[in-house]
């Protein structure tokens, strides 16, 4: 029995079945045994690959998006450039390199990373060696001021509550132990506090429907919107998206680049759920911010000029390098690939115009 399995079984023995959100939060973020605390999960030797690891083009275009955003903000003398969930630091390193083409903007940047994993923080320090960066455990620790904030594949790992529609109404899905070891799903027999998260629009959902809501995502979005309303700026959220709003069972686990059962080996596999951008957008608007999108990652990167960047990289490259660039381009923008599976949402200060890449967004 792994330490995380033992910890979770003890929690259930003492307090009863866990919400999916509590199970997910412990498995991913426990300070000693959590999935992200002691490992680098990225790359071919890890469990999954993110867009910044696919090609430098991704981070470079995000950097140029930030430059355009800085100009839209009126070119403030100081702006907090923040990445939440920065992985190995690859996106930020590529973005900052691209931003050196705009020296005045680069000079205005005060760079902050929000990261809770000691292992990933060490990799970020290596990737950003020689660059002045401040690390934080939470957005609240970042100093006030105009903000350029980026998250890529952060929202999908924020804990979710799951619900199932029964004849008695919505009931929360919980995680309990099995007598022979391991874990199983059960349903709460009475309403739980998390039911307050569900919108009234789901009251007519068919029996046996699933729904997912993330209190953590709602809270983070509220905090981002408040910062933008109070101090100005832009936020860019890129993530694996749901096409059904809060409906559906999208809770999944990935290990060694393959599917894994969500209740097997907690702490040893990546747990995530598709992001409900409908709720994220609503919370940001309710907080007084402007919202643009979501648009698909493919649409967004094409609007920023990724094809021209790929062509420039291919100039003078070997045949093998050109093939790698073309393959990476297809993964980032292709239908059925990251280009359609991932969505991009921008949150902006009140009255801000559409940011780059969102000019045609509804």
Written as tens digits, the pLDDT of the chain (362 aa) is 788 899 999 999 999 999 999 999 999 988 888 888 876 767 656 667 899 999 999 999 999 999 999 999 999 999 999 999 999 999 999 999 999 999 999 999 999 999 999 999 999 999 999 999 999 999 999 999 999 999 999 999 999 999 999 999 999 999 999 988 889 999 999 999 999 999 999 988 999 999 999 999 999 999 999 999 999 999 999 999 988 889 999 999 998 878 889 999 998 899 999 999 999 999 999 999 999 999 999 999 999 999 999 999 999 899 999 999 999 999 999 998 999 999 999 999 999 999 999 988 76
The C-alpha angle 142, 224, 286, rounded to 5 degrees, equals 155
Give whole-number Cα distances, 170 to 28, 43, 195, 274, 279, in Å: 26, 39, 7, 20, 18
CA distance from start to end of the chain: 51
**Could you tell me the pTM of the whole model?**
0.94
């Amino acid at each position: 029995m792994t330490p995380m399995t033992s910890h979770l079984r003890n929690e259930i023995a003492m307090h009863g079945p866990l919400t999916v959100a509590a199970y997910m939060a412990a498995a991913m973020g426990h300070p000693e045994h959590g999935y992200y605390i002691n490992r680098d999960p990225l790359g071919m030797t890890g469990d999954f690959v993110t867009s910044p690891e696919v090609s430098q083009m991704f981070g470079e275009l995000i950097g140029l998006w930030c430059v355009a955003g800085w100009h839209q903000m009126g070119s403030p003398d100081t702006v907090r450039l923040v990445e939440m969930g920065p992985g190995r630091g690859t996106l930020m390193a590529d973005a900052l390199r691209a931003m050196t083409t705009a020296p005045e903007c680069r000079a205005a940047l005060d760079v902050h990373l929000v990261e809770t994993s000691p292992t990933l923080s060490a990799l970020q320090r290596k990737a950003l060696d020689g660059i002045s960066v401040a690390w934080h455990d939470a957005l609240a620790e970042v100093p006030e001021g105009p903000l350029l904030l980026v998250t890529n594949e952060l929202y999908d790992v924020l804990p979710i509550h799951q619900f199932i529609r029964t004849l008695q109404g919505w009931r929360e899905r919980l995680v309990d132990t099995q007598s022979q070891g391991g874990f199983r799903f059960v349903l709460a027999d009475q309403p739980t506090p998390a039911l307050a998260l569900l919108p009234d629009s789901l009251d007519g959902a068919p029996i046996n429907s699933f729904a997912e809501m993330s209190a953590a995502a709602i809270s983070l979005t509220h905090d981002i919107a408040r910062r933008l309303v109070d101090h100005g700026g832009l936020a860019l959220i890129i993530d694996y998206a749901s096409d059904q709003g809060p409906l559906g069972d999208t809770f999944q686990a990935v290990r060694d680049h393959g599917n894994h059962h969500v209740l097997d080996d907690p702490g040893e596999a990546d747990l995530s759920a598709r992001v409900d951008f409908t709720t994220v957008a609503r919370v940001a608007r309710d907080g007084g911010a402007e919202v643009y999108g979501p648009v698909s990652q493919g649409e967004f990167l094409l609007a920023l000029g990724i094809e021209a960047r790929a062509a420039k990289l291919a100039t003078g490259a070997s045949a093998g390098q050109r093939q790698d660039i073309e393959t990476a381009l297809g993964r980032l923008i292709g239908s059925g690939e990251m280009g359609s599976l991932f969505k991009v949402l921008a949150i902006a200060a009140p009255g801000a115009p559409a940011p780059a890449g969102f000019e045609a967004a509804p």
